[in-house]
Structure formats: structure tokens, C-alpha cells
Structure 1
Amino acid sequence: MKHARVACFGSIHEAVRIEGKLQLTDGRLVGEEEVVWLPPLEVGTIFALGLNYADHANEISFKAPEEPLVFLKGPNTLIGHNGETRRPVDVDMMHYECELAVIIGKKARNVKREDAYNYVSGYTIANDYAIRDYLENYYRPNLAVKNRDTLTPIGPWFVDKEDIPDPMNLKLYTYVNGDLKQEGSTKDMVFDIPFLIEYLSSFMTLNENDIILTGTPKGTVNVVEGDEVVVEIEGIGKLRNKIVSDKVFQR
């Protein structure tokens, strides 16, 4: 089933998708165009993978790491479907990154890879924009690269894991102004989902609604003010947002 969080009728609602509409928990049906989309869950810790596709590592002149390159993101970065992402006026290079987001369903500590999917509740889509101008070192991404406000659209759907039988064989696409720019498959991850859950839970506790952003394949290009970016993952949906300038935020 596809779940969402939306704002309408003056409040925030949990919803599910039924026959092309959103059914709120109080039973009301609304059109998808009638709501403000929020991140599909109240997120805990956000783990982001760098260089987790060998082809992407190669296109930016790096080798895939021998150990997962993981960094943390703040919840301030998240916005919902159809949201606006700010592109600072003084930057030259801002890349989209279509990523499968894995949602942890219960507390996990010292999980073995063969048991890893027992700790997953579902999946969503993230577009984890990177502002390359601020990068100090590809192996030590600083806060400004990945943690600016509005930098990570997520959603629109939280899809139950039972509806994604093989998360390690999903096609990923990115469209900029309607043109296909990025295409890949989760089967090409350097470190797969079970490995990542085993790895992270070996030294820290994972909690319900923590999410793991699993990296992006090759095909990242610069986006600018006015661009509409749509990232899509097979079986989960399409996540749309628009790039806007500093003046939209008036600060």
C-alpha cells in the first residue's frame, strides 16, 4: 500500500492512495492536486551514502569506496512532493541525486544481513541534491554540501516493503524539464541494503523511521533556477520539485 502525509482542511493528515485519490484517516477522499504534500513520514536519523554506485563514482573521477561512505543529514533538509528547493545565487554546480530511501521499521542492533529485511518497513524516494561548490573532499563532504534547508525532496509515497518484492532490482530515472537525464538500477549498488543495515547496526542502534538514502547512479548534471526535476523509482512513484532562487525566500 502507498501511504502519504499531507496538509489540507487546515491540518496534517495521514493518507493512503485508493483508486487515484487520497483517503484521509477520517475517511474523506481528496484529489492529489488538492493537498500540500509533506515528507511521507516523521523521519528520525537520516543516513546518506556517498559513491554507492561505481558508475557514479567513476563519472566524478573517484573509485568506489571499500567501506561505506556514510554521513548524516538533518530533518531541516526535507521537503515534500511538489516542493521548492533553493539554489544559492553564488553557486555554479548543483546536482540532483535520485535515491532509493530505506525506512527502518523497528529498533535494530547487531543485525545480521540475512535478517536485515525483517527490520525494514518500506521504501520511498529521495532527491538528495548536492551543491558541489561547497565540497571540501569527496570522502569528507561538509555540512553545506548536503544539509542546506529544502535540499532533499522526499516522497510522495511510503510504500510497504511487501509491495516491493526485490528492492535490489528497481529502475531509477531522473527527468529535467521532461528530458531523461539519469537512468540506473539498484542492482548496481556497491553495498546492498542488507549489508548497509548490518554495517550500521554493528556500531549504533537504528530506530523506527530512521532512513537510509542508498546513493545515486551516474547521470548527474547541473540544475538551475526554474528547472523542474522529476525522480522516479520503479514500483514506488514519481517525486517532482522545482529549483528556485534565493529571492523566493527573501533572505
Structure 2
Amino acid sequence: MRLATVRLDGTTAAARLDGEGNAYLIEGCRDLSELLGTRDWRSKVSGPAQRTVQAADLDYAPVVPCPSKIICVGLNYRHHIAEMGHQPPEYPTLFTKFSEALTGPCDDVIVPEYAANQMDWEGELAVVIGTRAYRVSEADAANYIAGYTVINDFTMRDYQNRTSQWDQGKNFEKTSGFGPYLSTDYVPGTRIETRLDGELVQSASTDDLVFGPARLIEYISHIVTLQPGDVISTGTPGGVGHAREPQRYIEHGQTVEVSVGGLGSVRNRTIVLG
């Protein structure tokens, strides 16, 4: 099953996608944040469509536009941990991203000139919660997942490294491409890849994760209640620009594309404005 938030007639709508990408609008839900917040959201998805939109006309918004929480995991791929000079962690490294940082999977990313010095890519698998989760066991965690999607944890490295707290480098307005759809079909061990203007810069298997989705849900839900529509961004593999020699960053006009096998791609061009 694939679900999306699509832009239409000056607003948005939650939609179910078919195998050709056509969207069947879900009655009474303006986006997936609203849909997942309803008690019977699975039955609403399978109900009759309000309207059908052809694939060629689809304009995707951030797949879950207004999560109450976006919890990101740092240093969670073994290769990335090694390239950044760290030891494997005993516990997940958590930080937060705000919903204002999200943008559509094909939108341009507009960056103010003062923040454009060290822009970096971080392709990631994202998990979306479908059922309220508090103190959930790893064995039961799959029952609380609505689906999986793709996110670029777009990072301003100079801002990130100003202090020991990373959030300020992770939250610039509308920089993180998110989508294009939510899928229940993710299979562990799939490929995650990032390309910069078509050049492959990240490529890994999600088997390289230190803490997989179920373990993260267990850990986080013992700290705070995860609500329907909340997002866990599971971390990035090796190959980020900041860890290269010489270091390499996104430049004005360049396009970053992140893909996860079976989940589609986000593809965002970066525009620097003075």
C-alpha cells in the first residue's frame, strides 16, 4: 500500500496510489498527518475514493506534513560511524527536526546565502508511526508502524558544529525533501543511495544500521509517547560530503537525489539566494 499527500487546487489531500502512481483522494483528509490521526485510518484508506488524479498531474507535498515529532538518529550506520571517527554507540544518538524543515520530494530547496557555506547531503530511511506507542517492545514494534518513506536530512555543517548540540544545523526552513509516498512494502536490507547531480555519493544496505526501526521504536517509546504520524529518521550511511578528503558540499544549482529500494526518491535542487 502506498499513501501520499498531494497538492491540488490550492490545498492538499491525502491519497492512495495505485501501481501506476494515480492518486485516489481519501474522503475528508487534507493530508497524511490528518489521516493518521484518525482512529480508523486504515478503513478510510480502503473506502471509496473522493476523486482520482492522474499520475502526470501529481504534485507531491511532504508526505506527512505536520508530524508532532521528528526524531532523528545520528551515527547509526557502521560505515558512517567509522568515517566520522567515532566508536559504535551503546545507545542511539537522538536529535530533533521540526516540521518547518520539511519540503516536498521534488521541491527546490531555497537556502539563504549566509547559510550556504557547508551544505551536506544525508540520505535516510524514515519510519512513520501509525498507532500511539508508549513503552513498546522491539518484538511488537512492527505493529505500531504505518509505513516507510525517504528523507534527506539536509545539514548545514558549520551551523551543526558551532556547539555540541546538532539541531541548529538540521532545521533550516524547507530544506529536507520528504516523500514521495508512505509505503508498507519496505524490506530490510534494501539499498539506500544518494546522488549529487547524478553522481553516486552514498550507497549502502540498510542492514548496516546499528539500530533498526524496531529497536529505535522500543528505545524512543520508553522515553516519550510516539503519536500517529510521528517520524523517526533512522540515520545516514557513509559518503557524506563533510567526511571526504577534501571535504565536499552542495553548491548553488546542484540537485540531490535520495532513493531507498521500493520507496521511491526525493530529488531536490538547491537554490542559494542572497
TM-score for both structures, normalised by structure 2: 0.83
1:216 matched to which residue of 2? Answer: 236
1:28 shift after superposition: 2.3
Q: Conserved in 2, the CA contact under 8 Å of 1:54 and 1:63?
A: no
1:142 shift after superposition: 3.3
Q: Conserved in 2, the CA contact under 8 Å of 1:81 and 1:156?
A: yes
1:85 shift after superposition: 1.7
1:183 matched to which residue of 2? Answer: 203
Secondary structure of the equivalent of 1:191?
coil
Secondary structure of the equivalent of 2:63?
coil
The answer to whether residue 255 in structure 2 is matched with residue 228 in structure 1 is yes
The answer to whether residue 185 in structure 2 is matched with residue 158 in structure 1 is no
1:82 shift after superposition: 1.0
Q: Structure 1 residues 182 and 70 mapped into 2: Cα distance closer, same or farther (>3 Å)?
A: same
Q: Conserved in 2, the CA contact under 8 Å of 1:48 and 1:72?
A: yes
1:24 matched to which residue of 2? Answer: 25
Secondary structure of the equivalent of 2:85?
coil
The answer to whether residue 126 in structure 2 is matched with residue 101 in structure 1 is yes
The answer to whether residue 67 in structure 2 is matched with residue 43 in structure 1 is yes
Query: Which segments of structure 1 move beyond 4 Å, counting only runs of 4 or more?
Result: none
1:114 to 139, 145, 170: 139
Instruction: Please give the root-mean-square deviation of Cα atoms over the aligned residues, in Å.
Output: 1.7
Secondary structure of the equivalent of 1:13?
strand
**Which whole-Å CA distance do the structure 1 matches of 2:168 and 2:222 have between them?**
28
1:112 shift after superposition: 0.9
The answer to whether residue 257 in structure 2 is matched with residue 237 in structure 1 is no
The amino acid of 1:189's aligned partner reads: L
Q: For residues 50-94 of structure 1, what are the alpha-carbon distances to aligned partners after superposition, in whole Å with 9 as ceiling and x for unaligned?
A: 101121122122223221100111110001111122334244321
**Which whole-Å CA distance do the structure 2 matches of 1:196 and 1:23 have between them?**
32
Secondary structure of the equivalent of 1:71?
strand
Q: Structure 1 residues 246 and 16 mapped into 2: Cα distance closer, same or farther (>3 Å)?
A: same
Equivalent pairs: percent with the same residue? 34
The amino acid of 2:205's aligned partner reads: S
Secondary structure of the equivalent of 1:65?
coil
The amino acid of 1:43's aligned partner reads: P
Q: Conserved in 2, the CA contact under 8 Å of 1:87 and 1:94?
A: no
**Which whole-Å CA distance do the structure 1 matches of 2:167 and 2:104 have between them?**
21
Q: Conserved in 2, the CA contact under 8 Å of 1:112 and 1:198?
A: yes
2:32 matched to which residue of 1? Answer: none
**Which whole-Å CA distance do the structure 2 matches of 1:8 and 1:208 have between them?**
24
The amino acid of 2:222's aligned partner reads: S
**Which whole-Å CA distance do the structure 1 matches of 2:67 and 2:101 have between them?**
11
Matches within 5 A, 1:197-216: 197-216=217-236
Gaps of 5+ in 1: none
Gaps of 5+ in 2: 27-49, 242-248
